[in-house]
Amino acid sequence: MKSPAKLLMSGVILGGVTLGVGQIRVWQLEKRIEELRIECVRESKGTIEESSIQFELLCDPKDLLRSETETAAPGIQGTLVHAQRSLNRWKEIPIFLGVGLLLILSVPWCWYFLLRRIKELSAAIAGK
């Protein structure tokens, strides 16, 4: 196997591994967010039982991320916002990185492939 083909195969493998690692991390973060959400609901119920004030904490990480102000949310809500931000990043970055690796490492193969086709075309035009 020639060098451009090795680079192409390396690009496919590295791109796949990058996407796989990204998906594993996304799964871990989703699991962590669900645990934090359950803990937030539990903390909210505990606060209602302890005080006479009837309010519930906002425990949806997407709503918390949308309603975020300049100062970070305190306690469990801040942890939820941080985890949701990490999840959003991990959903996007591995895809771009994996595709980028594949594209960069496939350039030599594409170049030599096109050069061979041009050589065949010129030989056909010349009548050889």
Residue 47 has pLDDT above 80, yes or no: no
Confidence grade of residue 69 (pLDDT, cut at 50, 70, 90): low
Query: What are the residue boundaries of the structural domains of the chain, listed by start?
Result: 9-126
Q: Which residues contact 117 (CB under 8 A, 6 or more apart)?
A: none
Please give the C-alpha separations between residue 124 and each of 39, 81, 87, 127, in angstroms, as whole numbers: 72, 63, 55, 5
C-alpha to C-alpha distance for 19 and 80, rounded to whole angstroms? 24
> What's the pLDDT tens digit per position in 95-108?
899 999 889 988 88
Number of H helices, E strands in the chain: 3, 0
The token pair that represents 102 in the structure block: 């594949």
The token pair that represents 81 in the structure block: 């916002």
As to burial, measured by CB atoms within 10 angstroms (0-12 exposed, 13-18 middle, 19+ buried), residue 23 is: middle
